[in-house]
Amino acid sequence: MDPIRDHVRAMLAGLGEDPEREGLLKTPERVEKSLRFLTRGYGEDPLALLNEALFTVPYDEMVLVKEIDVYSMCEHHMLPFFGKAHVAYIPDGKVIGLSKVPRLVDMFARRLQVQERLTVQIAETIEEVIKPRGVAVVIEAMHFCMLMRGVEKQNSVAVTSCMRGVFREDRATRNEFLSLIKKRPGSVL
């Protein structure tokens, strides 16, 4: 049998449930499939992803992809967290295909994570591959480990950031990025 399915059966029994009950018979299989889907990022190579879409372009202004949906699982409780990521960089001769930015976010999010590490991994990978003048990542997320258990604060949002290069060194560049990701009342985007 599959070790994940065996462990799910044991967990169900440990919780006082009957794993042979009709409603739970296929639960171990469903949980195993779900966990494999939610952690598929372990089998993906972020460097290969970005290197497939690396282009030489004479563009030296900010490239920003914002409001990227993030779905991940906290490594401490294996409960979901979800939110938005905002990723910007200032190229130095190379750009990456725009669709690769959300794919990179998803690749790292689809692992057991802490939000802080996720934020840094995205920034470090972009920095390593295209060597931009700077990179900035902000993630805003709600964590079920805070919403449903523990402190049970239903409206709390965790915000993490990683600023590298000109985003860290130049206040004007950092402020431009932060103003661009700020939500505006009544805006469609």
Catalytic residue among 32, 44, 127, 145: 145
145 is a catalytic site residue: yes
Catalytic residue among 67, 76, 116, 128: 76
DSSP assignment of 11-77:
HHHHTT--TTSGGGTTHHHHHHHHHHHHTGGGG--HHHHHHTTEEE----S-EEEEEEEEEEEETTT
Catalytic residue among 29, 52, 67, 75: 75
Catalytic residue among 44, 77, 127, 176: 77
Cα separation values, 90 from 112, 140, 167, Å: 29, 22, 9
Q: What strands lie across the sheet with 80-90, from one edge to the other?
A: 112-113, 63-74, 80-90, 134-143, 158-165
77 is a catalytic site residue: yes
Contact 108, 43 (CB under 8 A): no
Residues constituting the chain: 189
* b/e 53-82 (16+ beta carbons within 10 angstroms → b): eeeeeeeeebbbbbebebebbbeeeeebbe
162 is a catalytic site residue: no
Catalytic residue among 113, 121, 140, 143: 143
Contact 38, 106 (CB under 8 A): no
76 is a catalytic site residue: yes
Catalytic residue among 86, 113, 115, 140: 115
- The DSSP letter of residue 131 is -
86 is a catalytic site residue: no
Catalytic residue among 74, 86, 113, 162: 74
- Catalytic (active-site) positions: 74-77, 115, 143, 145
